[in-house]
Amino acid sequence: ESAQKGAHFIELCAQRGIPLVFLQNITGFMVGRKYENGGIAKDGAKMVTAVATAQVPKLTMLIGGSFGAGNYGMCRRAYSPRFLWMWPNSRISVMGGEQAASVLATVRRDGIEARGGSWSADDEAAFKAPIREQYEHQGHPYYATARLWDDGVVDPAQSRRILGLSLSAALNAPIQPTKFGVFRM
């Protein structure tokens, strides 16, 4: 339901020429049968479409975690925010390191057991440790900034000033009209 509300809000802002500011602290869209039956895939797609097609200035600041498809729905780099900033405590990746390690370990364990083998808890822990380490390393804001995936790491105390300056700069360019496709809402 929140993804659909987000899509409506983005559409209204785009129609009125109001810039969008995304403050990301998102673990991703909800998963599971209950949410899938509730339409999260459809509603999430609406929000991603709204973000992708809105022509108003979009500013994104990662203030916490940014994981999964929610990362895209909240205007990550692929969706052309005019500016994208990160706090030093933020993290970004497809999923959290522990979740990734658990998924990969489950696949590995199932494969070993299907071949008639066994996998000890120590083997599993040794398998998971480098995966968690890689996700922690590559999800760090300095890793992202060093690769120019964002516009820099900012001191949280300076966020208001930086967002204000960014909005001022973004509003110096004309805002093109937004042409949304058909939303099946």
Residue 54, pLDDT score: 93
Is there a domain that residue 116 lies in? no
Is there a domain that residue 161 lies in? yes
Query: Is the pLDDT reported for residue 113 higher than 70?
Result: yes
Q: For 144-180, how does the pLDDT look when each residue is reduced to its tens digit (9 = 90+)?
A: 999 999 999 999 999 999 999 999 999 998 898 888 7
Please give the average per-residue pLDDT across 3-19, as a whole number: 91
Is there a domain that residue 7 lies in? yes
Residue 153, pLDDT score: 97
Domain count within the chain: 1
151 against 31, higher pLDDT:
151
- Following DSSP, what letter does each residue of 107-149 receive, concatenated? HHHHHHHHTT----HHHHHHHHHHHHHHHHHHTSHHHHHHTTS
Is there a domain that residue 178 lies in? no
pTM above 0.85, yes or no: no
3-state secondary structure 78-103: HHCCCEEEECCCCEEECCCHHHHHHH
Please give the average per-residue pLDDT across 108-121, as a whole number: 92
Is there a domain that residue 180 lies in? no
Q: Tell me, what CATH number does 72's domain have?
A: 3.90.226.10
